[in-house]
């Protein structure tokens, strides 16, 4: 089931309006490569033929996980990666001066997006910064400081605000400026088990057989009953984090109770809360959820991937439970128009 099919053109517009967001792709079978929707490709600036790093991460208990990360950012820089956003009054030479300030502090600009809005002449900068060699000529170098907003670089933040005080846009006496560590990658850097470098092909990410083998062995170690079914196909649930500049690929087996649901409902206050309540009462595990209004102003589309609890040998029971849940949602939540259910591997 293509989770983005009804709203591809609208979604592309949303990506350009909101550059920091989570975007989901459809659940599909993996055959040597993972398909990536064009929206994700464009949002992350993926480029065919360039090298990208695939990293298999481990779970908190040290066992191999079922997720592979794909990013153009070198994994050894993940712990020093920062995300910067600032709105400024545009003028000639502004980007050059901003980049020069970062160069003076030995901060490398890994990615940069700049957009000027008309007619008010406001420019928005969004950057990923590498602070591995960070230093200031006239200030003592200090470590990362924790604040209520999370880890920050207070010295470079203060230098930017003081240097561009006339240009930075303020709202309610607060600068429209943020700088924080890319925590998803920083945490993942400590959990890398295996790594491969690949070149992207078309709209696909090739997955080396060695990584797929590790994913399969990890799944079989976690659910030994899967070995009774022989060589099973793998399915991939893809999500892109444009803020962290990373594609996360979660691999799923059939017969493990994973279900993709698309729920169409009237757009009203409380719809999502009612649906989530029914899922909680059914004791299902929500893996992914994306609610969006793409088909019409008064219609919401809610895409979810859930896992129905139970042993693989109880697959028929799991399937009945999911079908029953879909029926409850459609009959009990007043504005729900339809519920479509797709099983991985069925």
Residue ranges per structural domain of the chain: 79-182, 255-346
What is the per-residue pLDDT for 100?
Answer: 96
Backbone angles phi, psi at 106, to 5 degrees: 60, 40
pLDDT at 21: 64
Q: Are 70 and 78 in contact (CB under 8 A)?
A: no
Low-confidence ranges of the chain (pLDDT < 70): 1-21, 25-26, 43, 45, 118-120, 136-152, 225-230, 254-256, 293-297, 310-322, 324, 332, 334-338, 340-346
Give the side-chain half-sphere CA count within 13 A for 37.
26
pLDDT of residue 102: 94
Length of the chain: 346
CA-nearest of 224, 225, 252, 228 to 238 is 252
Q: Check if the beta carbon of residue 26 is closer than 8 Å to that of residue 1.
A: yes
Per-residue model confidence (pLDDT) at position 11? 31
Quick one: pLDDT at residue 136? 61
Q: Which residues have CB under 8 Å from 225's CB, separation 6+?
A: 311, 312, 313
Q: Say if residues 180 and 157 touch (Cβ distance below 8 Å).
A: no
- The hierarchical CATH code for the domain 79-182 is 3.30.70.260
Q: Do 79-182 and 255-346 share a fold?
A: yes
Q: What is the pLDDT of residue 65?
A: 80
Query: What is the rounded distance in angstroms from the CA atom of residue 205 to the CA atom of residue 199?
Result: 8
Superfamily of domain 255-346 in CATH is: ACT domain (3.30.70.260)
pLDDT score of 8:
33
pLDDT number for residue 166 = 94
Q: Rounded to two decimals, what is the model's pTM?
A: 0.69
pLDDT, tens digit, 9 for 90 and up, residues 194-241: 888 888 877 788 888 888 888 888 877 777 766 666 677 778 888 888
pLDDT value of position 335: 65
């Amino acid at each position: 089931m293509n989770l983005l099919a009804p709203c591809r053109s609208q979604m592309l517009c949303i990506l350009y309006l909101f550059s920091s967001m989570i975007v989901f792709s459809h659940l599909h079978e993996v055959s040597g490569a993972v398909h990536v929707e064009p929206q994700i490709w464009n949002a992350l600036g993926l480029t065919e033929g360039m090298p990208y790093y695939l990293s298999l991460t481990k779970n908190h208990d040290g066992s191999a996980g079922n997720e592979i990360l794909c990013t153009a950012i070198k994994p050894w820089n993940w712990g020093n990666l920062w995300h910067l956003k600032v709105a400024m009054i545009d003028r000639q030479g502004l980007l050059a001066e901003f980049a020069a300030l970062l160069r003076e502090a030995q901060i490398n600009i890994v990615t940069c997006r700049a957009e000027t809005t008309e007619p008010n002449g406001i420019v928005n900068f969004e950057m990923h910064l590498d602070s591995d060699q960070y230093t200031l000529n006239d200030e003592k170098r200090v470590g990362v400081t924790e604040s209520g907003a999370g880890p920050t670089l207070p010295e470079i933040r203060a230098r930017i605000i003081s240097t561009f005080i006339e240009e930075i846009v303020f709202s309610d006496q607060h600068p429209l400026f943020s700088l924080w560590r890319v925590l998803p990658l920083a945490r993942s850097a400590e959990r890398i088990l295996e790594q491969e470098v690949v070149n992207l092909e078309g709209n696909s990410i090739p997955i080396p057989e060695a990584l797929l083998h590790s994913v399969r062995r990890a799944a079989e170690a976690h659910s030994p009953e899967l070995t009774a079914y022989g060589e099973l196909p793998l399915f991939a649930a893809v999500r892109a984090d444009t803020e962290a500049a990373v594609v996360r690929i979660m691999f799923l087996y059939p017969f493990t109770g994973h279900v993709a649901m698309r729920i169409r409902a009237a757009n009203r206050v409380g719809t999502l809360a009612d649906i989530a309540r029914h899922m909680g009462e059914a004791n299902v595990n929500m893996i992914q959820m994306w609610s969006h209004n793409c088909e019409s102003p008064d219609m919401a589309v809610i895409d979810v991937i859930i896992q129905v609890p139970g042993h693989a040998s109880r697959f028929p029971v799991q399937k009945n439970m999911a079908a029953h849940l879909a029926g409850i949602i459609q009959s009990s939540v007043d504005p729900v128009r339809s519920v479509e259910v797709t099983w991985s591997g069925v």
